[in-house]
Structure 1
Amino acid sequence: MIPWLQDADTPFPPIDMALDEPNGLLAAGGELDQQRIITAYRSGIFPWYSPGEPVLWWSPNPRCVVFPDQLHVSRSMRKRLKKKDFKVVFDTNFDAVINACAAPRDGADGTWITAEMKAAYNALHAAGIAHSVEVYMDDQLVGGLYGLAIGKLFFGESMFSRSRDASKIAFIKMVEQMQIWGYALIDCQVSNEHLFSLGATEIPRDQFQSYLNRYLDQPQSHAWQFDAIDSELE
């Protein structure tokens, strides 16, 4: 059995109490209010559940992350980036990005990004905590991602692509920029081949916790915009 979060005052259990199967399930219940979500991420926990379920809270072991200086860009993606037939920006249309991430996908049933989730993360965006990356081609939004930035850590949530390589472009450009800003890592939560192809790796939960302890309270002094300089990746 996992703990039930009765109300806003019920604390999360220690993350080392998370189940091995399913990997990382820690608690259930509670509301997706802003403070609860921030507390979760600061503790190495994130919400993930399906419509009709209570809120489920997770802290998997190992944790999938990308260290900015270990970003992998394939030869084909380097060629793709050199075309420069796209524009990548931060925070121009967060709501459109989260809606696109929530849209049905080939080979998948439904979505875990519920209406409650969208409302919660839009509120976090309004508070300056959640951010989006958008890729535009011919003035059309064709790809992007969103997540939370706390201290010098970015907690990725979801990405989407309506054009070939668009989500990879969003991710690569974001990681490149975050390396310039001195971010320590990008949390990808759970691994997949798409992330591994971009340089993701898995680290033990306790190592992930050490990054939280070290970098969560480091100040952000940057504006959420891409530097004008050309990158080495281009």
Structure 2
Amino acid sequence: MTTTLTPEMLLSAYAGGIFPMAEHRGDEDLFWVDPRQRGVMPLDGFHISRSLAKTVRSERFTITYDVDFEGVVAGCADRDETWINEMLVTLYNQLHRARMARSVEVWDNGVLVGGVFGITLGGAFFGESMFSHRTDASKVALAYLVDRLAVGGFELFDTQFITPHLSSLGGVEVSRAQYRHMLDTALALDADFERQTGVSDAYSLLQRNAQTS
């Protein structure tokens, strides 16, 4: 358990393959997690179903990056049971100001209805959480995130655990040993979340996905 954690300590922990969680929102302590089976999203294996492709193609949502990071974190924590406590919110915001934590926002007529956020380190993206207040909003956020990571030269998208939702999109589990090897390789890379300027248009995103999946 820990009650004192700095952004530097958090990044060091991620580089070592572990991450912190709280028991609940009001918990003042954190505990470290090192899963035997780790969830990852292969950047060349993200699955865009026909229905999701139709949603992306319709451009009913507006996509932005790092426009409302705090709003995305708040949206992810706004649920009955959450592992995101105030200490983690503070740390995430500090890392965002240092351009080490990034977000993808999904808007519907000016209202934030979905998003995903995580931490970048080398060529690794450590996905923390996502939320959705509209059908397919979190899936659309993930599609644009995967596209941006691929363009930026990232090789590892760590999802920590695998849920049925992530599995349906191509997420898989790897052993702790496999994950550590993937992590070491990714950390040595010089990836850039901002290598892609602006937001991919729907056609380009779907074309790149079709070529890699």
Q: 1:222 to 1:159 in 2, by over 3 A?
A: closer
- What TM-score do you get using the length of structure 2 for normalisation? 0.89
User: Which of the numbers 189, 206, 210 marks the counterpart of 1:233?
Assistant: 206
Residue 13 of structure 2 corresponds to residue 40 of structure 1: yes
Instruction: Spell out the pairing of 1:53-202 with structure 2 (5 A cutoff).
Output: 54-104=29-79, 109-202=80-173
Asked if structure 2 preserves the Cα contact closer than 8 Å seen for 1:31 and 1:55, the reply is: no
- Computing the radius of gyration from Cα coordinates, the structure with the larger value is 1
Q: Which blocks of at least 5 consecutive residues in structure 2 are unaligned?
A: 208-213
Q: Could you report, residue by residue, the CA deviation over 1:7-38 in whole angstroms, capped at 9, with x for unpaired residues?
A: xxxxxxxxxxxxxxxxxxxxx22522111100
Helix, strand or coil: the match of 2:206? coil
Q: How far apart are the structure 1 equivalents of 2:70 and 2:199?
A: 24
Contact 2:38 2:160 in 1 (8 A): yes
Q: Which amino acid aligns with 1:195?
A: L
Offset at residue 132 of structure 1 (A): 0.7
Report the CA distance between 1:232 and its aligned residue.
4.8
- Do the aligned partners of 1:34 and 1:120 also contact (CA within 8 Å) in 2? yes
Q: C-alpha root-mean-square deviation of aligned residues, in Å?
A: 1.7
Matches of 2:168 and 2:43 in 1, distance apart? 14
Alpha-carbon distance in structure 2 between the residues aligned to 1:232 and 1:100: 25
Give the TM-score normalised by structure 1: 0.82
Q: 1:166 to 1:222 in 2, by over 3 A?
A: closer
Q: Which amino acid aligns with 1:98?
A: V
Match for 2:55: what amino acid? R
Higher relative contact order (CA 8 A, sep 6+): 2
User: Shift in Å at residue 194 of structure 1?
Assistant: 0.4
More helix by percentage: 2
Which ranges of 4 or more aligned residues in structure 1 deviate by more than 6 Å? none
Aligned residues: 203
1:136 Cα offset (Å)? 1.0
CA contact (8 A) 1:150 1:217 kept: no
Q: Secondary structure at the match of 1:159?
A: strand
* Aligned-partner Cα distance in 1 for 2:82–2:171: 24
Give CA deviations for 1:114-171 in whole Å, capped at 9, x if unaligned: 1111111000101110001101111111100110011111000000011111011000
**Partner Cα distance (2:193, 2:95) in 1:** 18
| Counterpart contact for 2:20–2:30, Cα < 8 Å | yes
